[in-house]
Homo-oligomer: A and B are copies of this chain.
Amino acid sequence: MDSGVAAGTAGVSPTVAEPDARPAMDDAANRRAGAVLTVNVGAIAANWRGLRDAGRVANRQVDCAAVLKADAYGTGARIVGPRLAAEGCRQFFVAHIEEGIALRSAMPEHPICVLNGLLPGTEDDFVAHGLTPALNHLGQLSAWRAAAQRHNRPLDAVIHVDTGMHRLGFSPEEAQVLANERGRLRGLRLALIMSHLVASEEQGNPINGEQLQRFRAFLRTMPGAPTSLANSSGIFLGPDYHFDLLRPGAALYGINPLPGQPNPMLPVVTLHARILQTRRIDALQTVGYGGAWRSARPSRVATIALGYADGYFRILINRTHVHLAGHRVPVIGRISMDLVTLDVTDVPEAEAQTGALVEVLGPHTSPDDLAEHARTNAYEVMTALGHRYARVYVDRPESTE
């Protein structure tokens, strides 16, 4: 980190935002784009460094992985992965085997672990693509061990033990069987023992400590392997939770790992949508489907080129705004599939013109902000980011754009 990171914290100080910083628009795809998503891979790299440094306290050298599932939270795994590898990241996690296969083609060398585990009959696919399954129960362990025997070489294994999530991972009973019968691992290289936190973003929730104790108890029965517990928010629970490997996802992409506190991460994405048309309407006219919004005064309406098919959720009706030339502009009427309408009455007419780009996500509206308007979390906002946006990748570690 170039600035703002005190040793022993994962803090990253954002630089001052340039209001309405707009994406470069210089090729055909951008000219034709109704909306442009800009991903700052330099900010992702800076966030990764900040989190990695959080694990480098008290002479410990905790390693830091990167979670790239859901296409790197909507930002593009095949671009983000190699960028983080260049930064020094050595281990990667995805959810699905297909995600692993796609990422492998962009990253031939690095370990990629598939968290959803080993589906029956896919063992040879894992071997063929050099992927490591998270093994979630004894049946998967047996199948993976059989694959190692069939291929006549040791295969990496990640053991995922459940400490309270009750979603994936070895149950306490099966974990006990494994601890008593270490021979079940013969032929495999135990690359990692991991678990997953239930409520790491709630620093006062006692379940964090309970999971920590259960994880430690299991590890005492299985000494020697590298270990991992902390997701993004878990890193901020302190060194007790760090073990050998941090596994941040959300925080890499600028999502606040400390809800209710200032966001220590650099913002990563901006989203700008283009005005397709503006119009004047009289007072008491309605806009959009169902006539759900009615003008209280003579108004100007601008229509921009994104909608719920692009992940701009329908629930945002009457609950959010965008920014244009420094003005906060209300979203009015129902969100359409491909279009959103704005009340630009208070924006100077010269600014609210066809072709102008409005800020949907950016310095004024973070994914966490939009999530609050949509009554969800920034994870869902990010993973819903649309596939119709023109995508621009920039590499500006010190910029907030």
Q: What copy number does this chain have within its complex?
A: 2
A322-345 interface (Cβ within 8 A of B): 333, 336-339, 341
The verdict on A366 contacting chain B, using a C-beta distance below 8 Å, is no
A361-393 interface (Cβ within 8 A of B): 375-377, 379-380, 383-384, 387-388, 390
A193-234 interface (Cβ within 8 A of B): 198-199, 202, 207
In order of increasing CB-CB distance, the 3 nearest A-B pairs are A70-B309, A95-B338, A309-B383
Q: How far is the CB of A57 from chain B (nearest CB, A)?
A: 27
The verdict on A54 contacting chain B, using a C-beta distance below 8 Å, is no
B119 touches A289 (CB 8 A): no
A294-332 interface (Cβ within 8 A of B): 301, 303, 305, 308-309, 311, 313-315
A101 to B168, CA, bound (A): 43
The verdict on A34 contacting chain B, using a C-beta distance below 8 Å, is yes
B119 touches A377 (CB 8 A): no
A92-115 interface (Cβ within 8 A of B): 95-99, 101, 115
A315 touches B375 (CB 8 A): yes
The verdict on A176 contacting chain B, using a C-beta distance below 8 Å, is no
B379 touches A339 (CB 8 A): no
B274 touches A119 (CB 8 A): yes
A-B contact pairs, 24 of them (CB 8 A): A29-B98, A31-B119, A32-B96, A34-B96, A69-B337, A71-B387, A95-B309, A95-B338, A96-B305, A99-B388, A116-B276, A120-B354, A165-B287, A166-B285, A166-B287, A166-B288, A167-B288, A167-B336, A198-B291, A202-B290, A313-B376, A314-B376, A337-B379, A387-B387
B199 touches A119 (CB 8 A): no
B69 touches A341 (CB 8 A): no
Q: How far is the CB of A199 from chain B (nearest CB, A)?
A: 5
- A276 partner, pick from B119, B291, B355, beta carbons under 8 A: B119
Most chain B CB within 10 A, of A34, A139, A162, A311, is at A34
Residues of B contacting A117 with CB < 8 Å? 276-277
The verdict on A171 contacting chain B, using a C-beta distance below 8 Å, is yes
Residues of B contacting A202 with CB < 8 Å? 290
A289 touches B199 (CB 8 A): yes
A309 to B70, CA, bound (A): 6
B338 touches A32 (CB 8 A): no
A309 touches B354 (CB 8 A): no
B168 touches A308 (CB 8 A): no
A313 to B390, CA, bound (A): 24
Residues of B contacting A380 with CB < 8 Å? 308, 313-314
Q: How far is the CB of A392 from chain B (nearest CB, A)?
A: 15
The verdict on A5 contacting chain B, using a C-beta distance below 8 Å, is no
A118 to B348, CA, bound (A): 23
A115 touches B338 (CB 8 A): yes
A120 touches B376 (CB 8 A): no
Asked, given contacts A119-B355, A277-B117, A379-B308, whether A32 binds B166 with beta carbons under 8 Å apart, the answer is no
- A339 partner, pick from B71, B97, B168, beta carbons under 8 A: B168
